[in-house]
Amino acid sequence: MREIIFDTETTGIDPRQGHRMVEIGCVELVDRMPTGETFHAYYNPERDMPAEAEAIHGLSAQFLADKPRFAEAVDEFLDFVRDDKLVAHNAGFDFAFLNAELELCAREPICLTRKIDTLEMARRKNPGGKHSLDALCSRYGVDRSHRVFHGALLDAELLAQVYIELTGGRQIAMGLLAAEDASTASSIAVAAPLAASADRPRRAPRPHSATEEELMRHATFLERIARPIWNR
């Protein structure tokens, strides 16, 4: 199973107000394990960079001025993500910007059925706790000491580790049976019980029913109990 963990950086919080995506970072997972394949790109937003946004991700309008527009490089992104699930933290935000950019270059939007939101997952798993990416990194022991600014690829790499923990940890991909194989394995186990070892002595089954003597001793014990609750 292939999944893409991704993150975006933008000029603001709402594409409907003219804000644009300026960076995207993607990390490929196969069976919940990073493959080492990534995608990373900066885009010229064709507008100014608000100071409050630059303070978060450190990307200035001057730095982005010579970068391609999203429409000029959209095929590279689409070729990487293909038709696989897309995982993001507060995914509604990232999907809104991504689909706004796709609309501007007359491309089909990413279907929301492909969306997996780790923020929603974290809220279900740890209700009442803190659910920012930083908080989840702390909870699951993910090193974020090198995170000075928000960066799309760095945050996607951190989120990939968090997502693995949210979905059961690395043990989920250590050769355990896939869900679709479980019923087959169960039927095999029932149909083919373990064979007896040739050098192990065969023992007769132990009796599990109480003997007459044990039943009499039990009845005598019950008679000694003063005011038993079963007589109330």
- Which active-site residues does the annotation give? 150
Name the residue among 159, 169, 154 with its Cα closest to residue 133: 159
Buried b (16+ CB within 10 A) or exposed e, 13-29: eebeeebbbbbbbbbbb
- Bridging pattern class, strands 2-10 and 21-30: antiparallel
> How many helices (H) and strands (E) in the chain?
9, 5
Q: Report the distance separating Cα 122 and Cα 133, nearest Å.
A: 10
**What is the per-residue DSSP string for 60-93?**
-HHHHTTSPPHHHHHHHHHHHHTTSEEEETTHHH
Compute φ and ψ for 14, nearest 5 degrees. -145, 115
